[in-house]
Amino acid sequence: MQNRVDSDWMPFTVASTLSAHAYKPAIDLDGFGAASWSWDEGRTGFVGWFKVIDHDGVSSDGQSHTATVEYPDGREGNMYFVRPASATAGYYEYWSADLPPSGNYTFKVIDPDGNETASNQLYTGWLYLYRNKEGF
């Protein structure tokens, strides 16, 4: 666990023994959750995004929490920390070049003491049309 505090003025070290994470973390899909993204002609992949809120704190590098996404078919991906939102929140994301299947995606977060929260989101996909050299 991180025992450094970063501020606008200077970083400093705090006690090496930190209090337990008594509260469960929360997941805020932040208007995003499971979505598709497209690039080039006809290539579509999956992106997952959510905000972790934990009143016991989220480390400034995100390593205090483990975030994952489970696909409808049972595959699981580890989400990566993007940036802090505050001392008690941070953003996590997952990118895949695989075409995302429709169904329920389960986002999970686990805090340092093993408290787990999950959130489900139904993703139904969308039809992607692109214009090639001959037209539609």
The CATH number covering residue 42 comes to 2.60.40.10
35 is a domain residue: yes
Distance CA 82, CA 89 (A): 11
- Separation between Cα atoms, residue 1 and residue 62, nearest integer Å: 10
pTM of the predicted structure, to 2 decimals? 0.76
Examine residue 130 and state whether it is found in any structural domain, yes or no.
no
Q: What integer pLDDT is reported at residue 67 of this predicted model? A: 97
12 within a domain of the structure (yes/no) = no
Q: Residue 88: what pLDDT?
A: 94
If you ran DSSP here, which 8-state letter would residue 25 be given? P
Position 56 scores a pLDDT of 92
| 136 within domain boundaries | no
In this predicted structure, what is the pLDDT of residue 37? 82
Structural domain that includes position 52: 23-123
Which residues of the chain have a pLDDT value below 50?
A: 1, 127-133, 135-136
CA dist list (Å): 83 to 14, 22, 76: 21, 23, 22
| Number of compact structural domains in the chain | 1
